[in-house]
Chains A and B, each alone.
Chain A
């Protein structure tokens, strides 16, 4: 079996431009989903912890739904299904303006927010009740005790699963290819179809994803180390 690898042809124009565009697309999709997921996740965790019992149960049910359905099903539901609920004018606008990016960001962001919500909750649960009592006994208000005592500890505790879920969110952007979104996996497949250089194309994509994943995990290690409280 003669192996004849040729990465050069892949990195020449017009493929290079497509790859760069795909890079930007994946970056945009990751950023948009991540922001939505983090903000919503924190809000939901706050609702679960400080809200009424029925609110807690409601959010818990929503979280269970998001975590029980595969990402691909979420993407299809939003892009093909919920988009039909929009008024006609909105639908045409969305179709003309990167509809795949918008709906993929929403679908991925909503699903991952459920995981981030649980990460924040588990971080909060890891803190002994006595911490809150001690803070309040000193005269710190609820808000101040959260800000200076509880949240700093909760963030430290939830950092490892948080980093993990960030990496998972990034990997999940590859599923947007099923919607025809021009992110990295989709573009690499297109290139592979045109050049028949399967091994090289796939390797390129693999290296990209690995580099970013490992990079994110590395950032996580750095952040965890910086936040670490000196032990005995």
Chain B
């Protein structure tokens, strides 16, 4: 078994590269970085709309977040696959569809984290800033967001882990990420599904577990640095809102 899998391990890790496009774990990581990276500014914007004093910003953003959180990821992928080419008038690769879906999905969840991060800051921060004469915008930009984002670092890493897991949905639209590659290997070998999918699970476990430990370590450092301010609760890293 070991030899069979070692011949196939490269395709699991990097797809058909260099004889074809990048795939496997490498593509999974690229998708995750792109997805979360683009979702981040969008998520901050969405969060600011959610807590904005104007209903015209609050209501639509709240609806968007609830819809995205209430619909399974696979349905969102199908919607994107259908709507994106229709809306921009030309064919779109499965890769792009997946990135768009991940960005929207993660933006909704990120906005909840950013919102919680801002709302968990002591009121005294806002009061002090406004007393100094700062406007709402300036207070948000210079005082609240920087602190909220620093506190959110463990949650961000945790979201990155979630995104990695979410890329597996690419299987359904034939994006050559890790799960799809494992499916390919399984079709090639036919008689070793247990070994193939156990290896698949092991790869995900190693990557995601390492990153989760990273998140815990960062959480610990932040708690120690901010000693005196309310320490972060452990649930920040395994926040149920963020999983799935």
The answer, among B194, B240, B243, for a CB contact under 8 Å with A85, is B194
Establish whether residues B71 and A210, one from each chain, have CB atoms under 8 Å apart when the complex forms: yes
Say yes or no for A18: interface residue by CB 8 A criterion: no
Q: Does the CB pair B75–A172 fall under 8 Å?
A: no
> B residues within 8 Å of A by Cβ?
66-67, 69-75, 78-79, 82, 161, 164-166, 168-169, 171-172, 179, 182-183, 186, 193-198, 200-201, 204-205, 207-209, 212, 234-235, 238, 240-241, 243-244
**A114 CB to closest chain B CB, in angstroms?**
10
Q: Is A99 an interface residue, CB under 8 A from the partner?
A: no
**Using an 8 Å CB-CB cutoff, how does the interface string of A51-80 with B read, 1 for contact, 0 for none?**
000000000000011011111111011001
A49 CB → nearest B CB, Å: 15
Assess the A72–B70 pair: CB atoms within 8 A: no
Q: Are B241 and A164 in contact (CB under 8 A)?
A: yes
Q: How many residues of A contact B (CB 8 A)?
A: 45
Q: Are A171 and B67 in contact (CB under 8 A)?
A: no
- Given the interface contacts A68-B208, A206-B79, does A174 sit within 8 Å of B74 by beta carbon? yes
- Specify which of A118, A172, A217 is in contact with B238 (CB 8 Å cutoff): A118
Residues of A within 8 A of B169 (CB): 72
* A residues neighboring B (CB under 8 Å): 64-65, 67-74, 76-77, 80-82, 84-85, 115, 118-119, 122, 160-161, 164-165, 167-168, 171-172, 174-175, 177-178, 185, 189, 198-199, 202, 205-206, 209-210, 213-214, 217
7 closest A-B pairs (Cβ-Cβ)? A168-B244, A213-B70, A68-B208, A174-B72, A164-B240, A81-B194, A70-B165
User: In the bound complex, what is the Cα–Cα distance between A71 and B244 (angstroms)?
Assistant: 9
Cβ of B201 and Cβ of A199 under 8 Å apart? no
Q: Determine chain A's interface SS by DSSP, over half rule.
A: helix
B204 to chain A, nearest CB (A): 5
Residues of A within 8 A of B75 (CB): 174, 185, 202, 205-206, 209
Q: Which residue from chain A places its CB closest to the CB of B76 in the assembled complex? A: A206
Q: Within 8 Å CB of B195, what residues of A? A: 81
In angstroms, Cα B161 to Cα A205, docked, is: 28
Q: Which among A70, A167, A199, A210 is the interface contact of B67 at CB below 8 angstroms? A: A210
Chain B residues with Cβ below 8 Å from A119 are 240
Question: A9–B66 Cα gap in the complex (Å)?
Answer: 29
Name the residue on A nearest B210 (C-beta).
A68
Given A70-B179, A214-B66: A168 in contact with B200 (beta carbons within 8 A): no
- List the B side residues contacting A76 at CB < 8 Å: 179, 182-183, 193, 197, 200
Given known contacts A68-B208, A70-B168, A81-B196, A209 and B71 CB-to-CB distance under 8 angstroms: yes
Q: What is the count of residue pairs linking A and B with beta-carbon distances less than 8 angstroms? A: 133
Query: Which residue in chain B gives the minimum CB-CB distance to A207?
Result: B71
Asked whether B72 lies within 8 Å of A172 as measured between CB atoms, the reply is yes
Q: A residues within 8 A CB of B238? A: 67, 115, 118
Smallest beta-carbon distance A47→chain B, Å: 18
B residues near A118, Cβ cutoff 8 Å: 238
Q: How far is the CA of A199 from the CA of B79 in the complex (A)?
A: 8
By a CB distance below 8 angstroms, the chain B residues around A85 are 194
A202 touches which one: B79, B197, B212 (CB < 8 A)? Answer: B79
Q: How far is the CA of A209 from the CA of B69 in the complex (A)?
A: 10
| Residue in A71, A168, A175, A202 whose CB lies within 8 Å of B82 | A202
Query: B161 and A68: CB pair below 8 A?
Result: yes
* A10 shortest CB reach to chain B, Å: 15
Is A213 a contact of B71 with CB atoms below 8 Å? yes
In the assembled complex, 6 residue pairs joining A and B whose CB atoms fall closer than 8 Å, in A order, are A65-B205, A76-B182, A76-B197, A122-B234, A202-B79, A205-B75
Q: Which residue of B lies closest to A160 (CB)?
A: B240
Q: Could you tell me the distance in whole angstroms from the C-beta of B95 to the nearest C-beta in chain A?
A: 18
Is the Cβ of B72 less than 8 Å from the Cβ of A185?
yes
Whether B196 contacts A122 by the Cβ 8 Å rule is: no
A80 close to B78 (CB less than 8 A)? no
Q: State whether A81 touches B193 (Cβ < 8 A).
A: yes
Contact A122 B235 (CB under 8 A): yes
